[in-house]
Amino acid sequence: MNKKLTSSVFLGAAFLMATSAVGPGFLTQTAKFTKDYLASFGFVILLSVVLDIVAQLNIWRVLAVSGKRGQDVANETIFGSGYVLAILIVFGGLAFNIGNIAGAGLGFNVLFGLAPEYGALISACVGIGIFLFRDAGKAMDLFVKVLGFVMLGLIVYVVAVSRPDVGEAAYRTFLPETISPFAIVTLVGGTVGGYITFAGAHRLIDAGVTGEESLGEINRSATTGIVLTAVIRFLLFLAAFGVIGMGLAIDDSNPPASVFQNAAGEIGYKLFGVVMWAAAITSVVGAAYTSVSFLKTFNDKIEKHSRYVVIAFIAFSTLIFVVVGRPVMVLILAGTFNGFILPVGLAIILLAARRSKTVGNYIHPMWLQVTGWLVVAVMLGFSLWTIVAPLFGSS
């Protein structure tokens, strides 16, 4: 693989991870939590970024060195755990994808007035079309990169129009008035939980980019994906905070739409349609691709015909949305669910990092092992708190 092509794959892996994270749920969570916690939500974002980077570096490095996908590494480490991990991730990916398809339909509804169901069907055809290309990997890389830049540019415009109090936001990012374990679990789960943190790593493995000699580029690709996600999250947070600072309300029925509309009027509402569609369709592609990569362990035919299984996954997600509809809060709850998956998956990868049968002569850095186990402990504690706290009237 030549240097130019390799660089494109690394950037594509970073954007695949980032755009998988930046979906309709991401937009909804960010706007809603900004309304709930105001400037202090900046601290939640900052803490989640630190946890995200540690989790992603651990997982990407170990998988890349082993040259094996997450479920295969897990099976080698604890017998049968890879199958359990695969089932959990596919379930979480399907839950997200139903919401992603719904978000794509909503984007078309805002832009063209089409019923969300028709918009979802058209969007599903776009997603399926990418995997009909002979080199679907290259098509996917280009698609997520272009739409990733489109989303970034439009959100920057809305931030400029809303004129947030950046000083207050920066101050409370480091000295928050309130901290929400639920928000932290949801953000980390929606950014690197479930299938998302494996998305870019599996893309690199499928492209044949593995081994210790690639670790420098893998580090940069993993970090780039998290930083890109964090930049978009901070910008959307600032836009929502600016709208609140203008004395305007954020509508609970569709928080991100009200942010864009309040900031820039009818033009802002149309821009929301573009951002929502771009966020949704790239997440549809990422969720389907990565979920199916976890199914390859179950049967060799899935590996051989993976493109068509991805197409079936997208079609099935669309069918569920069109027939059943989108459950209330499915996207936020899916993020929380994936937050529970993260400590389990990361713990298994950290155990695998010490097995020479898996990583050969590679020695996983001690600082990553220590911080990785800290992330496992923090996320497991916060995840359990989200269950226990409501029983005692806490949040």
Q: Looking at residue 387, what is its pLDDT?
A: 67
pLDDT > 70? residue 119: yes
pLDDT in tens, 308-359: 898 999 999 898 888 876 544 455 555 566 667 788 889 999 999 999 888 8
Spatial contact of 352 and 85, defined as CB atoms under 8 Å apart: no
pLDDT of residue 328: 42
Mapped onto helix, strand or coil, the DSSP state of residue 194 is coil
Task: Supply the CATH number for residue 102's domain.
Answer: 1.20.1740.10
Collapsing DSSP to helix, strand or coil, 239 comes out as helix
Per-residue pLDDT for 371 more than 90? yes
User: Who's near 31: CB < 8 A, 6+ residues apart?
Assistant: 236, 240, 250, 255, 256, 258, 259
Amino acid, res. 176: P
Sign of CA dihedral 152, 162, 180, 252: negative
| Number of structural domains found in the chain | 1
Which amino acid belongs to residue 323?
A: V
Q: What is the pLDDT of residue 293?
A: 85
- Higher-pLDDT residue of 3 and 100 is 100
pLDDT at 110 over 80: yes
pLDDT of residue 334: 58
Residue 18 pLDDT: 77
How far lies 150's CA from each of 20, 276, 278, 279, 282, in Å? Answer: 15, 11, 8, 10, 12
CA dist 18 and 209 (Å) reads 19
What's the predicted TM-score (pTM) here?
A: 0.82
Asked if 140 and 16 touch (Cβ cutoff 8 Å), the reply is yes
CB 196 within 8 A of CB 96: no
pLDDT of residue 392: 56
Task: Report the percentage of the chain scoring pLDDT > 70.
Answer: 90
Q: For residue 338, what pLDDT is reported?
A: 64
* Lowest-pLDDT choice from 23-32, 364-373, 385-394: 385-394
Per-residue pLDDT of 59-88, as tens digits, reads 989 998 998 988 899 999 999 888 988 888
Q: Return the H-helix or E-strand segment holding 346.
A: helix 330-352
User: Which pLDDT score, from 0 to 100, does residue 148 have?
Assistant: 79
C-alpha to C-alpha distance for 295 and 135, rounded to whole angstroms: 20
- Kindly report the average pLDDT of the chain as a whole number: 83
Does residue 369 surpass a pLDDT of 90? Answer: yes
Structure-block tokens of residue 359: 């990583």
pLDDT confidence band for 388 (50 / 70 / 90): low
Q: How many helices (H) and strands (E) does the chain have?
A: 17, 0
According to the model, what pLDDT value does residue 327 have? 43
More confident position, 376 or 252: 376
Q: What is the per-residue pLDDT across 163-182, written as a single tens digit (0 to 9) for each?
A: 899 999 999 999 999 888 87
Burial 231-270 (b: 16+ CB within 10 A, else e): ebbbbbbbbbbbbbbeeeebeeebbbbbbbbbbbeeebbe
pLDDT at 333: 57
Tell me, what's the pLDDT at 221? 86
Q: How far is CA 238 from the centre of its chain?
A: 20
Q: How far apart are the first and last CA of the chain?
A: 51
Q: What is the pLDDT of residue 285?
A: 84
- Give the range of the structural domain holding residue 133, as residue numbers without chain letter: 3-392
Q: What is the mean pLDDT of residues 101-123?
A: 88
Q: What's the average model confidence in pLDDT over 229-236? A: 87
